[in-house]
């Protein structure tokens, strides 16, 4: 029979097309063998042929008699052809419509340019193919299961699509040298990029804890399920590696059970589906998440080199054989593990390193996370202001924790009337620790975790202590990498080592082949050191406060920080590169953990008596230290204020006080200051430091001056100062990245209390919008007499508002506008303000794009002013004509003492006008013309007038 069919084909192929045998029937004849080899499912064909009454049940029975699939196909083809053209056309139509089952024939359908007639298109086609039905089921279930990201605390679910942000993914060599970036997930399967071993079948994705390995796999699964991962995978099986540790040593299963029981089960004919997978292994894609999580006593070397997919064996053996390609060779596997997990080179096809969020990824993630713009801006400012938080946020998990903390604390803040609710860094790290511990605590997978923070910490007390111990040991020696011996000597259990707080380090040299470890982040080591200091029951005061001594001893400028000599370690300071930041952080966390607020948690880790003793020692130390620091500060008297200039180290002290959340300490610090103007200029204060600053400063009883010029506090910092605005009479915030948002806060607050006299906002990011708020403040607050708002982005519009406000004010004394762009129109508005002003004394409109036109109006207005003593018009475009107007003004004005016209366009002619004008003026002390186009020679002409300064 078989020979006959082939012969027929040959005969037909020799027939010229022109003799026009019916086209569809002929196509089946011509391509008979192709169809025989590619049609895997006959049932679906038969089902549809019967349904449309093209086949009788007898026809179906005849076809079913044949033992092999190929023979069945041949018989069906014979029957179809015998029934004529329409049935042949419908037969091809089934192949086209049931795409999933006959996907291998799609290129053929394209090639023959098959277009069914309308008649055939009206006939129904039902997909009864078990393989494609299974594929649909897999897709449906995977789409459903990957829709949400389960957060680690598992108290909420987030939509993957709304949460996932791109991160840095890099293809690397065996030795981790970069082979290029991954721009889309298809790149992972594209052999043209990053292939390091053609024989390997596993794509190995690695990265630190929380870097996003699991979520990347989830994204991959989700894309596939939605038909958006174009890598030719027909089946997607996903596994979590930790599951393989759950099997007993004598358990065995075959590959089919592993696939179908731990993913979804085929509703029809599992055998056929499995055979299909065996036959086309390259259509199967596997993901195995967390190879590092496999924990088994199972001896892998005892695994027999099985190759039969039907033979039952231990599931772990199946996994190993799958990964190495001994089972289901040709299938694609993606395996993830934490950095440092050993994977045999032979099995790796590509190595992929996850590096977390770049700055722009972080921005994208921030936008996704915070829908509320105000919240987003606040978080972004906070990040910008706190490098420690920012660096933590490159690890998506930390980022999520911090954002979550921020969201949580902000929602609490909003629900309270009191604006002084604060988040400390200790809060953030405690929450981070809680999240980590919760993740590793064995909980029922189906049960949501509702464990409280106290319960979590209590149940992992020993672990926390071990981690604290190793952190402390390292911190004492400034050691941040621990070798195996050190770890062993501290009785660190394997389990504790792999919790995620520590990570394995490679290529650090010196430790030979053995693993060495480091904390995920140095700040985390500082945190655990502090936790050790707090939880070690028998720790003495000297030990407790040791790192304060470390901080103070080499800091020559701040060596006064530590008054207690027995704490001082004289040997320190030999290493000039020694970084103190981690000691500072340790102290900071020590203050936080010993705060009263944290006692309800900490008393589950150490006795209340020990906490009390330690807290007393710490508070005593902080007080002593503060007193000592305050004694040695520079003091001055300035405009009725008793001023102290603090050093950057003082900011650390304020941060520590803030972490303690001790009102008592804050009050005592204020008392010890014996000053009412605190100068914190150039202290490297960030916005988050403003929380600490206001925590202390709000305890001032009387009006206060606060000079924060030249720091980095931005709008967020301004907001953090809320608790002390009712005390602030002098506020200097120049050079601090403040925008209109910050100015709005200043307006809202300062206009409430109306005590502000001095507002310094020089060199920020203020536009006309902010200028309008300042103008309103000038109008509403008669106390405000000094406004320094130069070097911002204020144009004519803002300038006019400010000028109008000044015009209305009866108290304004000093307005500094250097370096804005108010132009002539703005200058004219200021000129109006000057006329008959009762108090304005100092005015700067320097560097404001003022031409002769604006200059002339100012000169004219000064004729009618009897208050202005100093006028800066430096760096404008004042020429001789305007100079002539100023000369006229000099004949009338009897108050102006200093006129600055440096760097304008005044020539000798203009200078001459001015010198003539001066002849009738005895009050003016100087007219500065430096930087104008006047030569030495020309200057001689008015050398007799000493008040004209040209050089
Ligand atoms: N690309 C990302 N976009 C948004 N969030 C992310 C991203 N990557 C990670 N996250 C957040 O970080 C959390 C931890 O990520 P994930 O579980 O994927 O890390 P992991 O590398 O598998 O960690 P581990 O090694 O600890 O298992 C996620 O639950 C999610 O909140």
Q: Which domains does the chain have, with CATH numbers?
A: 2-128 (1.10.533.10), 135-356 (3.40.50.300), 359-453 (no CATH), 460-615 (no CATH), 708-949 (3.80.10.10)
The per-residue pLDDT for 771 is: 98
CA distance 748 to 733: 16
pLDDT for res 240: 84
CB 290 less than 6 A from any atom of ligand 1? yes
In the DSSP assignment, the letter for residue 595 is: S
Identify the pLDDT of residue 752.
96
Position 19 pLDDT exceeds 80: no
CA 360 to chain centre: 8
Q: What integer is the mean pLDDT of 867-886?
A: 97
Confidence tier at 444 by pLDDT (50, 70, 90): very low
| CB distance 207 to ligand 1 below 6 Å | yes
Q: Give burial (CB, 10 Å; 0-12/13-18/19+) of 592.
A: buried
CB 51 within 8 A of CB 124: yes
Alpha helices in 490-574 (DSSP H): 494-497, 522-535, 541-544, 546-553
C-alpha 160 – ligand 1 centre gap (Å):
11
Q: How far is the CA of 294 from the centre of ligand 1 (A)?
A: 19
For residue 937, the tally of other CB atoms under 10 A from its CB is 8
ipTM: 0.99
> CB under 8 Å to 125, separation ≥6 — which residues?
48, 93, 94, 97, 98
Alpha-carbon span 508 to 704, nearest angstrom: 52
Segment 867-891 mean pLDDT: 97
Pinpoint the alpha helices (H) of 112-254.
118-121, 130-145, 160-163, 213-225
**Is the minimum distance from the CB of 784 to ligand 1 under 6 angstroms?**
no
By alpha-carbon position, which residue is closest to atom 8 of ligand 1? 212
For residue range 243-284, what is the model confidence (pLDDT) as tens digits?
777 677 778 889 999 999 888 899 888 888 898 899 889 999
Q: Read out DSSP for 861-907? A: HHTT-SS--EEE--SS---HHHHHHHHHHHHH-SS--EEE--SS---
Report the Cα 772 to chain-centroid distance in Å.
34
Structural element, H or E, at residue 332: strand 332-338
Distance 284 CA to ligand 1 centre (A): 25
Q: Among candidates 349, 11, 336, 12, which has minimal Cα distance to 172?
A: 349
Contact 681, 709 (CB under 8 A): yes
Residues 348, 336: Cα–Cα separation, whole Å: 12
| Bigger pLDDT: 430 vs 522 | 430
> What per-residue confidence (pLDDT) applies to 408?
61
Q: Whose CA is closest to atom 5 on ligand 1?
A: 164
121-166 per-position pLDDT tens digit: 999 998 888 888 899 899 999 999 899 886 554 456 688 998 899 9
Q: Please check the confidence at residue 460 and state whether its pLDDT lies above 50.
A: yes
CB half-sphere exposure, 678, CA atoms < 13 A:
28
What pLDDT, on the 0 to 100 scale, is given for residue 390? 62
What's the rounded mean pLDDT across residues 762-790?
Answer: 97
Does any ligand 1 atom lie closer than 6 A to the CB of residue 163? yes
pLDDT tens for 462-485 read 889 989 998 998 888 777 778 777
Higher pLDDT residue, 439 or 503? Answer: 503
For the chain, what percent of residues have pLDDT higher than 90? 49
* pLDDT interval class at 16 (50, 70, 90): very low
Q: How remote is the CA of residue 297 from the centroid of ligand 1, in Å?
A: 28
Task: Please state the φ and ψ torsions of residue 169, each to the nearest 5 degrees.
Answer: -125, 125
Query: What mean pLDDT, rounded, does the chain reach?
Result: 84
Q: Which residue has the higher pLDDT, 246 or 318?
A: 318
Choose the weakest-confidence range: 52-56, 269-273, 604-608.
269-273
- What are 788-840's pLDDT values in tens digits? 999 999 999 999 999 999 999 999 999 999 999 999 999 999 999 999 999 99
3-state SS string for 749-795? HHHHHCCCCEEECCCCCCCHHHHHHHHHHHHHCCCCCEEECCCCCCE
Residue 877 or 356, more confident = 877
Q: Summarize the confidence of residues 66-95 as an average pLDDT.
A: 93
Mutational test site, ligand 1, from 205, 215, 358, max ligand atoms within 8 Å of CB: 215
Beta pairing class for 948-949 and 814-816: unpaired
- Taking the C-alpha atoms of residue 191 and residue 188, their distance in angstroms, rounded to an integer, is 8
**Partners of residue 870 on adjacent β-strands:** 842, 898
- The residue whose CA is least distant from atom 28 of ligand 1 is 397
Query: 212: Cβ below 6 Å to ligand 1?
Result: yes
Is it the case that residue 633 has pLDDT exceeding 70?
yes
CB atoms within 10 A of CB 379: 22
State if residue 209 touches ligand 1 by the CB under 6 angstroms criterion: yes
Kindly report which listed range (72-81, 349-358, 500-509) carries the lowest average pLDDT score. Answer: 500-509
Residue of 156, 207, 210 with the most ligand 1 atoms within 8 Å of its CB, for mutation: 210
What's the length of the chain? Answer: 951
**481-483 and 502-505 as β-strands: parallel, antiparallel, unpaired?**
unpaired
Residue nearest to atom 25 of ligand 1 (CA): 209
The whole-angstrom separation of Cα 262 and Cα 306 is 21
Q: Which of 396, 503, 520 to mutate to test the pocket of ligand 1 (most atoms within 8 A of CB)?
A: 396
CA distance 62 to 42: 13
Range among 257-271, 548-562, 658-672, 817-831 with highest mean pLDDT value: 817-831
Long-range pairs for 607-610 at CB < 8 Å and ≥24 separation? 607/537, 610/537
In sequence order, the β-bridge partners of residue 867 are none
Distance 358 CA to ligand 1 centre (A): 15
CA atoms within 13 A on the CB side of 902: 15
- pLDDT (0 to 100) of residue 385: 63
Find, among 448, 467, 233, the residue nearest to 334 by Cα. Answer: 233
Whether residue 576 has pLDDT greater than 80: no
Q: Which two tokens stand for residue 306?
A: 């099985």
pLDDT at 13: 39
Percent of the chain predicted with pLDDT > 70: 86
Is the CB of 213 within 6 Å of ligand 1?
yes
Q: Is 338 close to ligand 1, i.e. is its CB under 6 Å away?
A: yes
Cα 436 to averaged position of ligand 1 atoms, centre (Å): 12
DSSP code, position 266 = P
- Give residue 236's pLDDT band: very low, low, confident or very high (50, 70, 90): very high
**Percent of the chain that is helix, strand, coil (3-state, to 5):** 50, 10, 35
In which band, very low, low, confident or very high, does the pLDDT at 180 lie, cut at 50, 70 and 90?
Answer: confident
- What b/e sequence results for 795-813 when a residue is b if at least 16 CB atoms lie within 10 Å of its CB, and e otherwise? bbbbbbbbbbbbbebeebb
Collapsing DSSP states into helix, strand and coil, what is residue 800? helix
Q: What is the pLDDT of residues 723-769, one digit of tens each?
A: 899 999 999 999 887 889 899 999 999 999 999 999 999 999 999 99
């Amino acid at each position: 029979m078989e020979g006959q069919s082939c012969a027929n084909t040959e005969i037909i192929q020799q027939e010229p097309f022109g003799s026009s045998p019916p086209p569809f029937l002929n196509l089946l004849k011509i391509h008979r063998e192709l169809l025989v080899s590619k049609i895997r499912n006959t049932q679906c064909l038969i089902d549809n042929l019967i349904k449309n009454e093209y086949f009788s049940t007898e026809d179906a029975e005849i076809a079913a008699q044949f033992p092999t699939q190929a023979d069945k196909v041949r018989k069906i083809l014979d029957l179809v052809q015998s029934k004529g053209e329409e049935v042949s056309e419908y037969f091809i139509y089934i192949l086209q419509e049931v795409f999933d089952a006959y996907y291998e024939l799609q290129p053929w359908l394209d090639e023959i340019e098959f277009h069914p007639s309308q008649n055939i298109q009206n006939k129904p086609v039902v997909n009864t193919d078990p393989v494609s039905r299974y594929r649909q089921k897999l897709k449906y279930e995977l789409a459903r299961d990957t829709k949400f990201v389960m957060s680690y605390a598992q108290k909420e679910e987030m939509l993957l699509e709304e949460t996932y942000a791109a991160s840095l993914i890099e293809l690397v060599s065996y030795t981790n040298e970069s082979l290029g970036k991954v721009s889309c997930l298809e790149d992972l399967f594209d052999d043209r990029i990053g292939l390091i071993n053609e024989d390997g079948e596993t794509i190995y994705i690695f990265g630190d804890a929380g870097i996003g390995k699991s979520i990347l796999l989830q994204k991959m699964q989700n894309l596939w399920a939605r038909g958006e991962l174009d890598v030719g995978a027909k089946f997607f099986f996903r596994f979590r590696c930790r599951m393989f540790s759950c099997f007993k040593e004598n358990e065995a299963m075959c590959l089919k059970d592993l696939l179908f029981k731990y993913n979804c089960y085929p509703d029809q004919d599992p055998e056929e589906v499995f055979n299909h997978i065996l036959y086309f292994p390259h259509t199967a894609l596997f993901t195995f998440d967390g190879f590092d999580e496999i924990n088994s006593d199972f001896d892998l070397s005892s695994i027999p080199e099985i190759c039969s997919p039907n033979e039952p064996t231990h599931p772990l053996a199946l996994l190993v054989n799958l990964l190495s390609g001994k089972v289901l060779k040709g299938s694609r596997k993606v395996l993830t593990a934490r950095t440092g997990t050993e994977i045999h080179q032979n099995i790796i096809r590509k190595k992929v390193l996850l590096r977390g969020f770049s700055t722009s990824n972080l921005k994208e993630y921030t936008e996704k996370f915070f829908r509320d713009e105000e919240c987003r801006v606040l978080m972004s400012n906070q990040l910008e202001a706190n490098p420690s938080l920012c660096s933590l946020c490159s690890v998506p998990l930390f980022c999520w924790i911090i954002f979550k903390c921020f969201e949580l604390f902000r929602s609490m803040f909003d629900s309270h009337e009191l604006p002084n609710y604060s988040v400390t860094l200790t809060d953030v790290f405690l929450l981070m620790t809680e999240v980590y511990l919760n993740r590793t605590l064995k909980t029922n997978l189906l049960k949501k975790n509702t464990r409280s923070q106290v319960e979590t910490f209590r149940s992992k007390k020993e672990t926390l202590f071990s981690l604290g111990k190793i952190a402390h040991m390292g911190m004492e020696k400034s050691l941040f990498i621990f070798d195996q011996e050190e770890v062993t000597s501290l009785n660190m259990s394997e389990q504790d080592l792999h919790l995620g707080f520590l990570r394995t380090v490679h290529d650090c040299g010196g430790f030979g082949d053995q693993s060495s470890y480091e904390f995920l982040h140095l700040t985390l080591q500082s945190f655990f050191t502090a936790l050790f200091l707090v939880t070690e029951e028998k720790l003495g005061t000297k030990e407790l406060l040791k790192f304060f001594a470390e901080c103070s001893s080499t800091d020559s400028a701040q060596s006064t920080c530590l008054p207690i000599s027995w704490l001082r370690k004289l040997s320190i300071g030999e290493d000039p590169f020694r970084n103190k930041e981690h000691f500072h952080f340790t102290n900071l966390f020590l203050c936080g953990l010993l705060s009263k607020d944290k006692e309800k948690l900490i008393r589950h880790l150490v006795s209340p008596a020990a906490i009390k003793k330690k807290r007393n020692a710490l508070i005593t130390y902080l007080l002593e230290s503060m007193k000592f620091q305050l004694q040695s500060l520079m003091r001055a008297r300035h405009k009725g204020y008793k001023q102290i200039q603090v050093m950057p180290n003082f900011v650390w002290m304020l941060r520590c006080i803030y972490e303690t959340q001790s009102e008592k300490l804050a009050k005592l610090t204020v008392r010890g200051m014996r000053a009412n103007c605190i100068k914190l200029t150039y202290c490297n204060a960030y916005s988050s430091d403003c929380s600490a600053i206001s925590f202390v400063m709000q305890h001032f009883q009387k009006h206060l001056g606060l000079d924060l010029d030249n720091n980095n506090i931005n709008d967020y910092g301004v907001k953090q100062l809320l608790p002390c605005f009712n005390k602030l009479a002098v506020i200097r915030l120049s050079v601090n990245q403040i925008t209109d948002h910050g100015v709005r806060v200043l307006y809202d607050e300062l206009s409430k209390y109306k005590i502000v006299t001095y507002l310094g906002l020089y060199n920020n990011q203020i536009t006309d919008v902010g200028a309008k708020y300042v103008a309103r403040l000038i109008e509403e607050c008669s106390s405000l007499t000094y406004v320094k708002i130069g070097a911002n982005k204020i144009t004519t519009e803002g300038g006019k508002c400010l000028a109008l406000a000044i015009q209305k004010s009866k108290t304004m004394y000093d307005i500094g506008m250097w370096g804005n762009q108010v132009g002539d129109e703005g200058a004219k508005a200021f000129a109006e303000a000057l006329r008959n002003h009762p108090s304005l004394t100092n005015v700067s409109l320097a560097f404001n794009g003022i031409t002769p036109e604006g200059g002339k109006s100012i000169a004219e207005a000064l004729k009618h002013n009897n208050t202005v003593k100093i006028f800066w018009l430096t760096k404008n475009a004042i020429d001789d004509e305007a100079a002539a107007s100023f000369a006229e003004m000099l004949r009338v004005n009897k108050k102006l003492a200093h006129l600055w016209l440096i760097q304008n366009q005044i020539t000798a002619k203009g200078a001459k006008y001015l010198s003539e004008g001066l002849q009738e003026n005895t009050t003016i002390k100087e007219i500065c013309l430096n930087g104008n186009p006047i030569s030495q020679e020309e200057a001689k002409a008015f050398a007799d007038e000493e008040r004209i300064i040209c050089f």
